[in-house]
């Protein structure tokens, strides 16, 4: 495939959206055509399924049913958005992809072999060239999320928040384990530092992974310039 496929993964409050926007600007400054997309969603059909999943309407289906919906959305997203963009030679930056299903639905108890079957069917051979795992401790991620939506009467950690922290910690461990298992396509980025440092690390990972695409363009120099 002519294009380049980069996925962003991580827990809540990792700062993926900000970093995707930064990488898009960087790549465009090097003359690349960039498509930013997200999961669940990223195509009209998949966005409808996103509504069902994130509103909680699909919750009664249980984690296995939800996993099937994530896979259905992904199949449409791949066919309608990702594959055509890669065939055109674009750079596709995707906020979450199949690794999120492995981690989130895996953590919720869905059997790994079953998830693997769904993944194979959904991605239809389209795997990321590079996956950037933006890693932050669960406490930091959760406090960033809380900061964002600080309008209600949250008076310290309640039972839900206590439970949520455990779940977030498990997801983080699972993402890190996945990055170790499939080290050939993962770069783990410490997302707990300031935005510019995180962006600079991401640019380094990308220019390193696709060195031939940045040769003779002053790529390495621009990385450090863009970081300051």
Indicate whether 96 belongs to the interface with ligand TYD (CB under 6 A). yes
Is position 175 an interface residue for ligand TYD (rule: CB under 6 A)? no
Specify the residue, 114 or 227, whose C-beta has the smaller distance to ligand TYD.
114
> Can you spell out the DSSP letters for 92-134?
EEEES-HHHIIIIIHHTT--HHHHHHHHHHHHTT---SEEEEE
Choice from 7, 37, 43, 100 touching ligand TYD (CB under 6 A): 100
Nearer to ligand TYD, 52 or 209 (CB): 52
Cβ atoms of 134 and 188 within 8 Å: the answer is: no
Are the CB atoms for 129 and 187 separated by under 8 Å?
Answer: no
Residue 101 binding ligand TYD, by CB under 6 A: yes
Binding to ligand TYD (CB under 6 A): which residues in 134-153?
A: none
Question: How far apart are the C-alpha atoms of 142 and 108, rounded to whole Å?
Answer: 18
Between 38 and 172, name the residue whose CB sits nearer to ligand TYD. 38
Applying CB under 6 A, does 104 fall inside the site for ligand TYD?
yes
Using CB under 6 A as the binding rule, the residues of this chain from 5 to 44 that contact ligand TYD are 12, 38-40
Among 9, 34, 43, 70, binds ligand TYD (CB under 6 A): 70
Question: Looking at beta carbons only, is 75 or 223 nearer to ligand TYD?
Answer: 75
For the bound state, the minimum distance from the C-beta of residue 38 to ligand TYD, rounded and expressed in Å, comes to 6
Assigned token pair, 11: 């827990």
| Distances, alpha carbon 71 to alpha carbons 4, 76, 97, 118, 180, in Å | 22, 9, 10, 6, 24
Rounded Cα distance between 156 and 47, Å, is 34
CA pair distance 4, 211, nearest whole angstrom: 12
Interface contacts to ligand TYD, rule CB under 6 A: 12, 38-40, 54, 70, 95-96, 100-101, 104-105
């Amino acid at each position: 495939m002519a294009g380049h496929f980069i996925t962003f993964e991580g827990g809540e409050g990792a700062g993926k959206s900000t970093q995707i926007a930064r990488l898009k600007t960087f790549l465009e400054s090097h003359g690349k055509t960039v498509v930013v997309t997200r999961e669940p969603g990223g195509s009209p059909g998949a966005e409808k399924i996103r509504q069902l999943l994130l509103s909680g309407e699909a919750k009664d289906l249980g984690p296995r049913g939800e996993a099937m919906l994530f896979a259905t959305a992904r199949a449409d997203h791949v066919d309608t958005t990702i594959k055509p963009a890669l065939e055109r030679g674009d750079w596709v930056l995707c906020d979450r992809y199949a690794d999120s299903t492995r981690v989130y639905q895996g953590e919720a108890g869905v059997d790994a072999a079953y998830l693997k079957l769904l993944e194979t069917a959904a991605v239809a051979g389209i795997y990321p060239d590079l996956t950037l795992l933006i890693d932050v401790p669960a406490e930091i991620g959760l406090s960033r999320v809380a900061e964002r939506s600080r309008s209600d009467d949250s008076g310290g950690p309640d039972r839900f928040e206590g439970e949520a922290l455990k779940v977030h910690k498990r997801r983080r461990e699972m993402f890190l384990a996945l990055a170790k298992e499939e080290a050939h396509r993962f770069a783990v980025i410490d997302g707990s530092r300031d935005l510019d440092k995180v962006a600079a690390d991401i640019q380094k990972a990308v220019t390193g992974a696709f060195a031939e695409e940045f040769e003779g363009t002053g790529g390495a120099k621009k990385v450090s310039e863009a970081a300051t």
